[in-house]
Structure formats: C-alpha cells, structure tokens
Amino acid sequence: MPPHKPYAFVTYRSVESARRALTQLNGQKLQSEENSITLYLSYVNSVTFEEEKSVPLPEGLVLVEEFVSPDEEAVLLAAIDWLSSNEDVTAQKSLKHRRVKHYGFEFRYDNNNVDKDKPLRAGLPDECLPVLERCVKSGLISIMPDQLTVNQYESGQGIPPHVDTHSAFEETIISLSLGAKTVMEFRHPDGRLVPVVLPGRSLLVMRGESRYLWTHGITPRKFDMVPACSPHSPASDLGTNRNLTLSKRGTRTSFTFRKIRHEPCCCAFPSTCDSQGAASAFSPSPSSPPSLPCCHADATRLEEEYVHRVYNAIASHFSSTRHSPWPSVCHFLSLLPAGSVLADVGCGNGKYLGVNPELITVGCDRSNALVQICVERGFQAFVSDALSVPLRTASCDACISIAVIHHFSTPERRLAAVRELTRILRPKGQALIYVWAFEQEYNKQRSKYLKEQIKEHRQNLSPINNTSDDLQEPHGKSQIHTSEHLEDKCRAVDSMQHISKGTNSKLSVHTNRTAFNTQDLLVPCHDTTKTSNTILKAKPENGQVPVFHRYYHVFQQGELEQLCGQVAGVRVCRSYHDQGNWCVILEKD
C-alpha cells in the first residue's frame, strides 16, 4: 500500500471469500455524497511488524500542554487585528501558505533576518504580557522577548522546514499554539525525523540543539496521523504509540516569541550558524561557501541545506517551471506495455506520472511540498529519500530518475542511488536516468541552457528566467550513443579527473547560463513566487528577488555509464546526450 497513507485491514472467514472480494472490489468506485472514492486492495496471508523503538524529542525541546486556559486563548486571538494593515505599526503579510503578522520587529523573508535598527511602532500586545511573565517565572525563558510573529494556518497550509537564523535571535524561542492541533516535524541533518503533535493551547520551547541544529516545519496537508489519546497517552508521543487516528486540521494560530540578538552568535553548532561562517542556501551570495564533503555526515548536512531545504522553499516556483515533459522521457514511457508499474524516484511535481495513462504510476520525492503538489494534481506520490525507497524489491516494471542523482554530493551516495533504483526493478525491467552534463556544448551544438544566455541578454529579462536547469526542455534530436562507446567515454572521464577534486575545496557559485568550470558547485535560483505580498512590500536593498543555491555534481562524459557499471546485475542498454544532460537506459538481468 502507499507508504504513510491510512489504510484498514479486513479479515474473512475463508481464503476463498477473501480472494473473491479482492477480485470483485479492487478498483471499484464508490460515490459518497459529492466525493468519488476508489477502493485499492491488496491480499496478504498474515501481517508482521517490528517493535518500534522510543523516539526521544530533540535535545533542548520542551512541550508544555495546556499552558494557557481557554479564556486566555480567546483573549490572545482577539488581540490580533487581521483587518488592520498599518505596516508602520505592525507588519502584516499574506504568504502563499499562511498569513503573518509581526510585532516589535519585522522579520524579512527576503534575507531571513530582521532590521534591528528599525523597530515597529507597536511593541508586543499587552495581552501577551501575563503569558510571558509566567514563562519567566517558571524558568522557561530568562529574558522577556521583544519580537512576536503570529502565523495563521488554515487547513491544508504549512511552513517549509527551516532553522531560525542564528544571528537574528537569541537562543530560546517559544511558540504558543492556539486553535486546532497540528503536527510539527523536526529533522536532524543526519536524516532523523521526529514528528511532534502540538495540541491547542500548548507551548513549545526550543533551545540548544533543537533551536540551532534541527529544522522544524509543518507539512501542508488537511489531516494528521495522531495518537488516539487516553489519559495515560501523551499527545506528543508519536514514536511508540500504535493507537493512531486521523485528525482533521482546522484553523491554527501560532504566537512565536523571540529576543532580538545584538551580538554575533557563538553557539556550539557552527555548521548551521551564519555568525560563524556557515553559508545559507537562501543568501544572495554565500560569503563562505561550504566545502566538498569529507564524510557521510558532511554529505547529509550539505544536501539538507543546499538541496532539501531549497526545494521545499521554492516548490511552487519550481513546479511552475516544470510544465512540459521532456520528449525523450515521454518516448521511453510510451514504449512501456499497458499495465506496467512505473516508479518515478524524485518525481518533483509529478509531470511524468500522467504522461502514459495506461501505466500504473507512483512517485516519490524528498520534498514534502512537491509531493503535496502531486497529490493535489491527483497523482499517487509519497515522501521518500532516493537512497531508501519504501517499495518492495523487484516490484516495478520500469523506473525513471530525472535530474535527481546529480544532487548527491559523494560518489558513494550517487552509486547507492543507482543501486536503490535497480533494486526495485523486476528482472528485465528498465530504468531511465538523467543527470546534468558538464559538457553543455556537445558535437558542436550548444544546449538550450547556454542558448538562453543570449536570449536573456538580448531581452534583458528579469531574474525569473535565471533559474539554472529550469529551462532545459529538450528540443530536436538527441545525440544517441549505444553501450559500445563506453570504453571511449571512460577514457574521457579519466582525462578530466583533475576537475574539482581538491581536498576540502570550497564549492564555487556558478554563473547561470555559462559553461561549467567545475563539477561540484552551487547554482543560484531566483524564486519570484514570493514577490507579490512579501518582497515588493519589503523593498530589499538590492532590488532582487530571493536567491537560493542548489548543490549539483555535473557529470562528465562517460561518468554516468561508469557509475552504473559498478552495479551488479544490470547493463547499460543505451546512453545519449540530450540538451545538456547525460542519459542512460539500464536493464536488470
């Protein structure tokens, strides 16, 4: 069944009855009021499970339930005047996934910081003072906050994973949840995920590691899986509680209180601290770009900061630039027999899931924001890392991995991604892989990526078009090569190994629409979806829209085939260069 989706077990008195039900009911549509419901069934003889280990909260995270009374909750909610838009007093924004109001100081989404020399005329609402005084008295905070951000989330809205900027605020951050409950997800750079249920009228306290190192965010969805609470079952415990139920989200309002920091941060987490030189994937130009990873932990941190967080942040803009399927990928999908099971690993907004309606398709992506877009478009998709796809071995007739593997930052992780892709393939199944090519000019032909530079210069286009591979839509005939050319390609790889192989070398920031001069780099992307209500009002000093940086390893000629050749039990059927991408079709023995 689709991972992370609710389901039920039905038992029958006989095997014959169960099989007859499966045959007659699977795929049938039911009409429930205005909704059409499709039944998806699988037959199992028995069900086994592994005992889950207790999942502790991130270090430094404290959840205090029922911190305010229902009367206090009503007073606080009434204190927020959403109809007022006097930005000299309070700064109010209508963001894509929520509406926001700032008190004390405005938080600037264009640079993820505050202007500490320009306090807002209105300080914190008086109605908040009794709650804050109680926080001080109980030892939850040591000093009174001077900045408040109020977020209002409707059902289906959320906020991308993030770490509050170190240099902007002091250590302890407290957040009061009012109205409906929700689930906030905390993720460690090593991949550990801890979902925490935030009931209404609860107070969340973040300090230490939970404040400085773990990202926190709310996945946009309309239902959460939460414990079916009993008096002895804390609502915050999702790690071991098997008695789960669906909770429909309602309107939730959060009051997040912080203290403005006036000195550089000197925390014990320099890898995520902008005061100590850690570059941000959201900065216009990282002052101290990260280094090539030296170990697994470094690689996961780099990819979390410069791949995962970025795609969650730019999901809407990214999806708007991915409306046209690539012709060569469509050709591959069109050749699959009707009824074939296709897995799109790294599916993005799902633009390939509906290309061939005769296929049974499922997509997965590391970005929960992009998966949500897939679901809204009616596709079957789930959140998953490409290194660990929760699909059975040999369960798919075909797989595609389009513009994914070049985001893994070590050879070992790129190889693991190919192995995982081939693991889920059935024997004789095929996989299509696309990665960005170092050679953007091949066989005396410039890729569309380079051609766009001329077009942009001629038309003096705005930064919306300066989005790396967003416009790499192949046109015309691809340069096709079969596996007999592998030896020549491998020699090409060997002759170019000097590129970007320095020890602990810093990643360079690529200039868009130009030829690559290194294999490992950060590529700027301008997200203009945030301009309408945020950036235009904020009037950033440089006049630009927010700039995000994605990590890429661009592949040299022959490198992709060489990588796939290390996987046992598969062969490269075909390889080709397609508008600035190296591509292979693999077949499993």
Pairwise pLDDT comparison (47 vs 142), residue with the higher score = 142
Q: How confident is the model at residue 49 (pLDDT cuts 50, 70, 90)?
A: low
d(CA 204, CA 206): 7
Q: How confident is the model at residue 420 (pLDDT cuts 50, 70, 90)?
A: very high
> Do 220 and 306 share a domain, yes or no?
no
* CATH number of the domain within which 581 lies: 3.40.50.150
As a whole number, mean pLDDT of residues 282-301 equals 78
> Do 262 and 310 share a domain, yes or no?
no
As a whole number, mean pLDDT of residues 335-343 equals 96
Question: 16, 35, 52 — which closes off a domain?
Answer: 52
Strand, helix or coil for residue 103: strand
pLDDT-wise least confident of 298-302, 333-337, 477-481, 485-489: 477-481
> Do 97 and 190 share a domain, yes or no?
yes
Pair 47, 64: CB distance under 8 Å: no
Strand, helix or coil for residue 332: helix
| CA contacts within 13 A on the Cβ side of 140 | 22
| CA contacts within 13 A on the Cβ side of 110 | 19
Edge-to-edge, what's the strand order for the sheet holding 396-402? 381-383, 360-365, 341-345, 396-402, 425-436, 581-588, 570-577, 479-482
End-to-end CA distance of the chain: 26
Residue numbers of the domain that contains 76: 61-229+242-272
CA 81 to chain centre: 33
Task: Give the residue among 470, 502, 551, 523 at the shortest CA–CA distance from 305.
Answer: 551
For residue 582, tell me if it sits in a domain: yes
CA dihedral 12, 15, 16, 21 (to 10 degrees): 50
Residue owning tokens 């689709």: 2
For residue 132, tell me if it sits in a domain: yes
> Do 415 and 538 share a domain, yes or no?
yes
CA 582 to chain centre: 25
Q: For residue 286, what pLDDT is reported?
A: 61
Q: For residue 542, what pLDDT is reported?
A: 41
Q: Is the pLDDT of residue 327 over 80?
A: yes
Residue owning tokens 């292979």: 584
**72: part of which helix (H) or strand (E)?**
helix 70-78
For residue 465, tell me if it sits in a domain: no
Residue owning tokens 């596996």: 483
Instruction: Round the average pLDDT of the chain to a whole number and report it.
Output: 82
For residue 466, tell me if it sits in a domain: no
> Do 4 and 96 share a domain, yes or no?
no
Pair 187, 247: CB distance under 8 Å: no
d(CA 21, CA 225): 28
The count of domains in the chain is 3
> Do 209 and 329 share a domain, yes or no?
no
> Do 123 and 159 share a domain, yes or no?
yes
> Do 268 and 332 share a domain, yes or no?
no
Q: Is the pLDDT of residue 284 over 60?
A: no
Helix axes 296-303, 411-423, angle to 10 degrees: 80
For residue 475, tell me if it sits in a domain: no
Question: Cα angle vertex 498, ends 497, 502, to 5°?
Answer: 115
CA 28 to chain centre: 34
As a whole number, mean pLDDT of residues 538-561 equals 74
* CATH number of the domain within which 104 lies: 2.60.120.1520
Q: For residue 89, what pLDDT is reported?
A: 56
Question: Residue 76: phi, psi to the nearest 5?
Answer: -65, -45
> Do 11 and 39 share a domain, yes or no?
yes
Which residue(s) pair with 42 in the sheet?
none
For residue 170, tell me if it sits in a domain: yes
Q: For residue 527, what pLDDT is reported?
A: 58
Pair 352, 434: CB distance under 8 Å: no
The residue ranges of DSSP E strands in 387-468, in sequence order, are 396-402, 425-436, 441-442, 445-446
> Do 87 and 32 share a domain, yes or no?
no
In terms of Cβ atoms closer than 10 Å to its own Cβ (0-12, 13-18, 19+), residue 21 is middle
> Do 46 and 83 share a domain, yes or no?
no
For residue 367, tell me if it sits in a domain: yes
d(CA 179, CA 408): 40
How many residues make up the chain in this entry?
589
For residue 282, tell me if it sits in a domain: no
> Do 203 and 302 share a domain, yes or no?
no
Pairwise pLDDT comparison (205 vs 454), residue with the higher score = 205
Q: How confident is the model at residue 193 (pLDDT cuts 50, 70, 90)?
A: confident
d(CA 113, CA 165): 7
